[in-house]
Amino acid sequence: MSLYPINLKIAGKLCVIVGGGVVANRKATGLIEAGAHVRVISPDLVDGLQELAHQKKLEWFSRTFAEGDLKGAFLVFAATNNSGVQAQIHQEAENNRVLLNSADDPGGCNFHVPAHFRRGKMLLSISTGGGSPALAKELREKLEGVLVPEYALVVELLSLIREKILTSGDNQQVHTELFRSLLKNGIVDMVLSANWFDVQMLLLEKLPDHVDGVTLLKKFLEKHDRV
* φ, ψ (nearest 5 deg) of residue 213: -65, -35
Which one has a higher pLDDT value, 13 or 128?
13
CA separation for the pair 177, 38 (Å, rounded)? 42
Instruction: Compute the average pLDDT of residues 41-47.
Output: 97
pLDDT of residue 17: 98
* Structural domain includes residue 127: no
- Which residues pair with residue 194 across a beta bridge? none
User: Of all residues in the chain, what percent carry a pLDDT higher than 90?
Assistant: 80
Domain boundary among 65, 90, 113: 113
Q: What angle separates helix 196-206 from helix 172-184, to the nearest 10 degrees?
A: 150
pLDDT of residue 169: 63
- Tell me the pLDDT band of 175, cut-offs 50, 70 and 90: confident
Helix runs in 97-165, H state only: 133-146, 151-165
* Structural domain includes residue 122: no
Instruction: Compute the average pLDDT of residues 160-167.
Output: 87
Whether the per-residue pLDDT at 227 is higher than 70: the answer is: no
Lowest mean pLDDT among 21-35, 121-135, 146-160, 185-199: 121-135
* Structural domain includes residue 134: no
Domain boundary among 56, 91, 113: 113
Do 107 and 19 belong together in one domain? yes
Do 48 and 102 belong together in one domain? yes
Query: Do the beta carbons of residue 39 and residue 17 sit within 8 Å?
Result: yes
What length does the chain have? 227
Going by their DSSP bridges, the two strands 115-119 and 122-126 should be labelled as antiparallel
Do 96 and 177 belong together in one domain? no
Measuring CA to CA, how many Å separate 188 from each of 48, 145, 197?
37, 16, 14
Please give the torsion angle defined by the CA atoms of residues 124, 151, 202 and 227, in that order, rounded to the nearest 10 degrees: 150
Do 19 and 102 belong together in one domain? yes
* Structural domain includes residue 124: no
The 10s digit of each residue's pLDDT in 62-95 is 999 999 999 999 999 999 999 999 999 999 999 9
Query: Do the beta carbons of residue 120 and residue 151 sit within 8 Å?
Result: yes
CATH classification at residue 100: 3.40.50.720
The SS3 assignment for 18 reads strand
Instruction: Give Cβ neighbours of residue 75 (< 8 Å, ≥ 6 apart).
Output: 10, 13, 15, 16, 98, 99, 100, 101, 110, 111
What beta strand segments (E) does the chain contain?
A: 14-18, 37-41, 59-61, 75-78, 99-102, 115-119, 122-126
Q: Across all residues in the chain, what is the average pLDDT?
A: 93
Residue 40: which domain range?
A: 14-113
* Structural domain includes residue 102: yes
Domain boundary among 59, 88, 113: 113
pLDDT of residue 1: 64
The SS3 assignment for 87 reads helix
* Structural domain includes residue 93: yes
Do 23 and 80 belong together in one domain? yes
Which one has a higher pLDDT value, 107 or 28?
28
Backbone CA torsion sign across 142, 145, 149, 153: negative
pLDDT of residue 81: 93
Lowest mean pLDDT among 135-139, 141-145, 208-212: 208-212
Do 160 and 108 belong together in one domain? no
The SS3 assignment for 205 reads helix
pLDDT of residue 186: 97
Do 88 and 156 belong together in one domain? no
* Structural domain includes residue 92: yes
